[in-house]
Structure 1
């Protein structure tokens, strides 16, 4: 049984679809309605079990309730993918207001913490399970005008490393997947903002991003989903505490 947060669109929707294709039973969870995700998945995988759930990841009680209801109905939790995230408005750290800091931190770090904690409590008792947190290549290096976003994703990566060590004695694995620039509405928003800052067209900004990727294209949600399937599968059973880049070959110093 799997839970995917941030499942209403983008990468989250792609993860739900791929897990369903692999035969997993999936709870698609989000603060926004997941109707479109459920409809798409059932259309492409008619025989699958998938259901929607409402969750506010920044509230621990909401996440705890989601995990508890899943376990109550399905007897166990095999996988949680803590995917829900928001992108910050591009700005210098010196110009970042408290409200923006709190918005990014509460979803990108506290939300992942809440999901990891709730799943770990269940999986510790099961003596089995897999926790996968979605980080970012921005966790590996600082980027101007994204200081808070970078910091939250780095925090996710380090927290997951510690969690992996804590949970290993219970047979539970924890890993981070670090996507690069992936074709989602979140990325499009960021590229529009950067195009404005650089005083170039949106089209030129898109090409600039593609040119920075060795494989020459933006990532797709299915690229991220494939990595998750591998890490959650028996083939990935000896991997824990890893932060796996899925970014088209970008290398960090």
Structure 2
């Protein structure tokens, strides 16, 4: 297998793209370190991986807290000795609202997880990979990180920041054997996207414009996992700083 005995750390591993990618990487031979704030969901992913014959561990962590990030990185090193792949994936969605009605607490929550969480992951994993002289990092951005989307201004800002972090880090580490890329999903069948209709019903607010799902459906998380596995592997050996849109034509 192309990722046989590689060590992969995945944040947000308890559901959605994170769970699908964790299972895909493990299925391709990687030993996985699963990270999630939801302990039950993270352990469920680990159980699914073990049921298919994969190997890994789970670390309960809040990606927005420096001590938690250092702990999941240190646990990976203590358990497996290195980190070859880092899927820096954990994130949350915004409650749809006009910019002037976004609460400051909502702004702080989104930036803390979607931006600070990605930054801290990069900060501590890059130190490990630099000492190894190798590694592949995949950050989860969004189509909202490459174009505007209605009524999710802070979410869009957070994902634009992920794109910026990806490109800047890729430039800094391009000669150090480390590749850093981002994926931009555009509508994926997950608990997050499934909650959107409920948000509209609860709040009574519906944006003037909604994303055009040109293929007539959301992506399956497994379709994004395929791209994660590709970027993690040596097949993507000449890709760094790339922002890969996987959106079924949404941004056309």
Give the TM-score of the pair, scaled to structure 2.
0.91
Deviation at 1:244, TM superposition (A): 0.4
Partner residue of 1:202? none
Deviation at 1:67, TM superposition (A): 0.7
1:39 pairs with 2:50: no
Partner residue of 2:87? 81
Partner residue of 1:61? 67
Runs of 5+ in structure 1 lacking a partner? 200-207
Among 11, 17, 34, the residue aligned to 1:11: 17
Runs of 5+ in structure 2 lacking a partner? 1-6
Distance in structure 1 (CA, Å) of the matches to 2:150 and 2:213: 18
Distance in structure 1 (CA, Å) of the matches to 2:92 and 2:250: 22
Deviation at 1:186, TM superposition (A): 0.4
Deviation at 1:229, TM superposition (A): 0.6
Do 2:214 and 2:249's aligned partners in 1 also have CA atoms closer than 8 Å? yes
Give the TM-score of the pair, scaled to structure 1.
0.91
Q: Which runs of 4+ in 1 moved over 2 A?
A: 191-199, 212-216
* CA deviation vs aligned residue, 1:140-182 (integer Å, no higher than 9, x gap): 1111210000000000001110000101111100000110100
Q: CA RMSD in A?
A: 1.7
Deviation at 1:50, TM superposition (A): 1.6
Residue 59 of structure 2 aligns to a residue whose secondary structure is: strand
* CA deviation vs aligned residue, 1:117-160 (integer Å, no higher than 9, x gap): 11111111111001110000110111121000000000000111
Distance in structure 2 (CA, Å) of the matches to 1:35 and 1:66: 15
